[in-house]
Amino acid sequence: MKIDANSYFAAAEPAFITRHAARHQAAIERCVEKLRSTMPVIGLRNPKIGTAANHWVYCAPFDWVVSFQAGQLWLALQLTGDPAFLHAAQARRPVFRAILANRQAQDHDLGFQFSLGCVADWLTTGAVEPRAMALEAATLLLGRYRPEGRYLQAWNAVAPHGQFDPHHAAGRIIADTLQNLALLYWAHGETGRADFRVAADGHAETALAHLVRADDTSFHTFLFDPVTGAPLRGETHQGYSDSSCWSRGQAWLIHGYAQSAAVTGNPAYLDAARRMAAKSEALMGRDNVPAWDYDAPGASVPRDSSAGAVMASGAYLLAQQIPDEAERWRDFGDRLIGGLLDTCDLTGDPAALGLLAHGAAHVGSGFADNMLPYGDYYFMEALMRSLGHTQFFW
């Protein structure tokens, strides 16, 4: 193992450790036990979305969420050293080989997929095949860079299973891609090749200029002229409206800029994450779980636990990087985790196969209240960050 599971707490500074360490420690232990107890049921399948009974619908071979079960298993391995988690994570490698072999399966989500599926394996075990796979994925992601507009193309007009969707065609960036830049930054660090870094920074700067609004809310997506790269307009895909703020998009940007700042030291990224986190703090409802869209009308707007989990992890990343404001951002992370533990925690429910209830995958398509594997992954990551762990896979 290249990562020493016992070294994390020694590296931690008190100011960014949660004020609720006993509660968070108990929660992460329940997460690990849930992963352990569900392994025989889940097997090598990869959860996509929860059912009403809190069982899982599983991914078809190609899906952007295919790596989040592996990500949780790699975290559980760090926490326990139990080889059962190692074997379950490594046995998923064929899923990632299949993505590399299918052009239509490759889009901006190569970052989510290969950071958690393969970089994690390399960092944890030193195995060379996943390193090579992750570098191949980073090279494919780099191929989506459009220098005319300095952005990474998000989706493909034709999806893996053959559907054509003009909404996905050329010239679109989306907030979610900020999470995928980590694969490019990692590849730059591994190879020294400047083009990986140029593309990651180019995209981050373009997204900052066009996805992040002057009032520190965000568009989910932004369109560019695919030929000239000229900026056209902001639109939503999963939010309430083109002018609203979809909370998971805001969370992807907060975590993504905080993470990019940690890798590059660029103060503009840290400032962006900080401003957007402050806006989200101001927009937070009483139950401390973000509304799925901050502008969605109505008395009982669905919550999105996955947005809360991603944002909490981003808040602890801010706390680590801004010593003068460490307590403020730690407390925001604690508030978000508190909301998840108070109203969404399924870890003590023996019938549930996942960790968090009340995720909003795509409200406009009718998926407003489900377990989500990415919510579960970031819940574990946030709990670990809150307890002082500093080594992850991005």
Q: Smallest gap, in angstroms, from Cβ of residue 364 to ligand GLY?
A: 11
Q: Smallest gap, in angstroms, from Cβ of residue 378 to ligand GLY?
A: 11
Catalytic residue among 63, 107, 121, 176: 176
Interaction of residue 172 with ligand GLY, rule CB under 6 A: no
Cβ 95 vs Cβ 117: under 8 Å = yes
Q: Please identify, using beta-carbon distances, which residue of 79 and 253 lies nearer to ligand GLY.
A: 253
Q: Smallest gap, in angstroms, from Cβ of residue 65 to ligand GLY?
A: 8
Cβ 27 vs Cβ 345: under 8 Å = yes
Interaction of residue 176 with ligand GLY, rule CB under 6 A: yes
Closest to 175 measured CA to CA, from 272, 87, 85, 93 = 272
C-alpha span between 391 and 384 (Å, rounded): 10
C-alpha span between 120 and 75 (Å, rounded): 9
Tell me which of 16, 56, 62, 64 binds ligand GLY, using CB under 6 A.
64
Q: Please identify, using beta-carbon distances, which residue of 172 and 248 lies nearer to ligand GLY.
A: 248
Segment 192 to 251, residues that bind ligand GLY, using CB under 6 A = 238, 248
The strand ranges marked E within 60-186 are 145-146, 151-152, 172-174
Catalytic status, residue 107: no
Catalytic residue among 109, 121, 304, 376: 109
Interaction of residue 381 with ligand GLY, rule CB under 6 A: no
Q: Smallest gap, in angstroms, from Cβ of residue 66 to ligand GLY?
A: 12
Cβ 85 vs Cβ 75: under 8 Å = no
Q: Please identify, using beta-carbon distances, which residue of 176 and 201 lies nearer to ligand GLY.
A: 176
Interaction of residue 334 with ligand GLY, rule CB under 6 A: no
C-alpha span between 315 and 324 (Å, rounded): 14
Interaction of residue 389 with ligand GLY, rule CB under 6 A: no
Both tokens of 248, joined, read 């998971």
Q: Smallest gap, in angstroms, from Cβ of residue 237 to ligand GLY?
A: 9
By residue count, the chain amounts to: 394
Q: Smallest gap, in angstroms, from Cβ of residue 238 to ligand GLY?
A: 6
Helices in 13-92 by DSSP H: which ranges?
21-42, 68-80, 83-90
Residue 15's Cα: distance from chain center in Å?
A: 24
Closest to 334 measured CA to CA, from 356, 355, 318 = 318
Cβ 253 vs Cβ 311: under 8 Å = no
How many residues line the site for ligand GLY (CB under 6 A)? 4
Q: Please identify, using beta-carbon distances, which residue of 64 and 186 lies nearer to ligand GLY.
A: 64
Interaction of residue 332 with ligand GLY, rule CB under 6 A: no
Q: Please identify, using beta-carbon distances, which residue of 238 and 244 lies nearer to ligand GLY.
A: 238
On the 0-12 / 13-18 / 19+ scale of CB atoms within 10 A, 342 is exposed
Pairing relationship of beta strands 221-224 and 231-235 according to DSSP bridges? antiparallel
Q: Smallest gap, in angstroms, from Cβ of residue 310 to ligand GLY?
A: 9
Catalytic status, residue 271: no
Q: Please identify, using beta-carbon distances, which residue of 63 and 201 lies nearer to ligand GLY.
A: 63
Closest to 292 measured CA to CA, from 384, 345, 214, 370 = 370
Q: Please identify, using beta-carbon distances, which residue of 78 and 238 lies nearer to ligand GLY.
A: 238
Interface residues with ligand GLY (CB under 6 A) are 64, 176, 238, 248
Residues serving a catalytic function are 109, 176
